Structure formats: C-alpha cells, structure tokens
Structure 1
Amino acid sequence: MKEEINNTIATLKRGGLILYPTDTVWGIGCDATNAEAVEKVFALKQRAESKSLICMVSDFKMLNQYVEEIPEVAYDILKYAAKPTTIVYDDPIRVAENLIAEDNSLAIRVCKDKFCNQLIRKFRKPIVSTSANISGEPTPKSFKQISPEILKGVDYVVNLQPSKKNAQPSTIIKLSLDGKVQVIRK
C-alpha cells in the first residue's frame, strides 16, 4: 500500500488525475487546491462546471482548514453517521476556485477508508472525489464497469481493491450557516 500511496501522491503533485477506490465507489481524484487539475476532472467527466464536485479530507482538523465556519451539528452528524456522509458547507477556503459552487459552498467528506485516509494525510491537502463515470451515465459499482474513456483519461490507476464490496455513493447533507439542514442524497 505504501508504494501505491507514493505513486498516487507523485501524480497528484504534478496536477494529474487518479482513479482510485474510495470509501464509497471508484473515484476520479485530483489535488483539490489545483484549479487546472479540477478543470481536467470536469473535462474528463464531460460535466458542466456549474455542477460541483466532492472533495475528501482526512479528519476534523483538516476540515477546519478548508471551511470558514463549521456548524456545530456537522460534528454530530459525522460522528453518528452509519455510512459515508458528505456535508455541503458554506464559505469554503483555500481550495481551487472552480471547485466552489455558485452559492459559495463545497461538498466535503471526512474519509474513514484506510487507503484514502493515509493518502490524504500524507498528501496534506484535500483530494477531489467524484464517481468514475461520464456525467449522466450510471455510477460504476465495480472496476469492471468503468468505461475505457475514463481509464484512458486518468494519469494513474491505483492498484488496490476497494475495502467495501457493495459500493454506493455517500449520503449528501447541506448545512447552511443559518441552521438549515437539507438532505440532498440519501
């Protein structure tokens, strides 16, 4: 696993795209602070830049470095969530501008997956995590279902099996600073 982490970090540092097993589904990733890399993700997925992407952090400490103000309820939601949960926060900071949604929000997941967590800790920056498919096409449930177009479009494919067999996208919850809570995806 150490070699995979080092190879992946080398790709991220040079602005490349990775294909990697996440705590949910196979994902396309890049350095969440590199606008050119984020642009490559949108291009590969053929996704409108108005549709935002998710990024992952390793822990609450890192989360605090990329969000201006975290609503208190976020900690409880994440502590008690039964499955991977992504929260959309207002006022993200220190990430690529094109990663931030038009309403000045950003979807961030604190990742508990062993590989992803170690990767993010060692990289010391958030990593984009979006499903490994062309926009509008079904989310691949396994590596075999990833299209050749995606496989050819990334710079590095992580050679590890996902830790979970029944891959499903994360729950997404939007927490506004005014206290409003909205479930976007169960």
Structure 2
Amino acid sequence: MHNDLKKAVEVLKSGGIILYPTDTIWGIGCDATNAEAVQRIYDIKKREDSKSMLVLMENPALLDRYIDEVPEVAWDLVDVSTTPLTVIYPGAKNLAANLIAEDGSIGIRFTKEEFTRQLLQRFRRPIVSTSANKSGEKSSVFFDDISEEIKQAVDYIVEYRQDDRMPSKASSVIKLGPGGQIEILRK
C-alpha cells in the first residue's frame, strides 16, 4: 500500500488522474482544485460538465476551507452516519470552478476507508471521486468490472484492493438547503 500511496500522490500533484478503490466503489480521481484535471475526468467519462462530481475528504474539520457557511445540521449528519454518506453543501469555494454545480453546491464525502484516508492525508487537498465508468453505464464495484478504455485513460492505477471481492455500493446522498432543509437524493 505504501508504494501505491506514494505514486498516487505524485500523480495527483502533477495534475494526473488516478483509478483507485474508495470506501464505496472504484473511482476515478484527481486534485479537486485543478480545473484541467477535472476536465480530463469529464472527458474520460464522456460526461457533461454541468453534472458535478463529488469530492472526498478525510476530516470534517477541513470543511470550512471549501464551504462558505456550513449548515449546523451538517455536523450532526456527519457524526451519526455509520455508512458512506455524501452531503451536498451550498456555497462551495476553493475548488475547481468546473467541479462546482451551477447552483454553487458541491458533494463531499468523508472517508473512513484506510487507503483513501491515508491518500488524502498525504495529498492535503480534496480529491475528486467519481465512478470508474462512462457516464450512463453501470458503476464498477470490482476492479475487474472496469473497462479497458477507462484503465487506459488514467495516469496511474492503484494496485491495492484490486482483488477485493467484498460487496459494496454507492453512498447515500443528502442535499442541504436553506435553513437546514434536508433532501434525500439517494438512500
């Protein structure tokens, strides 16, 4: 795992794209503050850039760096969540402009998975996390499910957990609105 972490951080710092295991499914990732890298992911996925992608972070204490005003209910949601939860926050800042949704929001998930947590700690910035598939296709739960086209398009493929067959699924998604309003988008 150590060599994977070292190489993945090098690739991210150079503006590259990685294919990596997350706390949910296999993902395509890059530096969430690098607009050129974010655009490459949209191109790889053949996805409209009006469809924003989420970012992974390892520590809720960093949330204030990327969200203008964190709704109070957000802290409770993060604290009580026992499964992967993506929260869409209003007022995104300090991230690549093409990563932020048209309404100014961004989806953020705090990972507890060992590899991504260590990767984020070493990289010291949020990382884009989007499913390792073309837009509209089924998400790749296992490494073997990822198309060769996706594998060829990235700059580094993490070896860690390629043989993992533990069933997993995409995260739940909640959107926070004005006055602490909560909208469940995916259970």
Which position in structure 1 is the counterpart of 2:171? 170
* CA distance in structure 1 between the partners assigned to 2:127 and 2:178 by the alignment: 24
Pairing of 1:1-186 with structure 2 (within 5 A)? 1-161=1-161, 165-186=166-187
Q: Is the 8 Å Cα contact of residues 67 and 89 (structure 1) preserved in structure 2?
A: yes
Give the direction of change, closer, same or farther, for the CA distance of 1:178–1:138 in structure 2 (3 Å limit).
same
Q: Distance in 2 between matches of 1:100 and 1:120?
A: 20
Aligned length: 186
Q: CA shift at 1:4, angstroms?
A: 1.0
Using the size of structure 2 for normalisation, the TM-score is 0.96
The aligned amino acid for 2:155 is D
Say if 1:176 and 1:123 are closer, same or farther in 2 by CA, change over 3 A: same
1:178 is paired with a residue whose SS is helix
Further displaced range: 162-171 or 12-21: 162-171
Deviations 1:117-147 (A, max 9, x none): 1110111100000000000000112111101
Whole-angstrom distance in 2 between the partners of 1:179 and 1:85: 17
Q: For each residue in 1:136-176, what CA deviation from the matched residue of structure 2 results, as whole angstroms up to 9, or x when unmatched?
A: 00011211110111000000001111778112000010011
Whether the 8 Å CA contact 1:32–1:126 is kept in 2: the answer is yes
Distance (Å, rounded) in 2 between the aligned partners of 1:79 and 1:29:
25
SS at match of 2:20: strand
**What 5-or-longer segments of structure 2 have no aligned partner?**
none
Distance 1:72 1:165 in 2: 34
TM-score by length of 1: 0.97
CA contact 2:32–2:126 (8 Å) conserved in 1: yes
Q: Is the 8 A contact 1:63 1:110 kept in 2?
A: no
Query: Helix, strand or coil: the match of 1:47?
Result: coil
Q: CA RMSD in A?
A: 1.2
Contact 1:86 1:170 in 2 (8 A): yes
* Equivalent residue letter for 1:57: M
Structure 1 segments unaligned to the other structure (5+ residues): none
Residues 24 and 164, structure 1, Cα contact 8 Å, conserved in 2: no
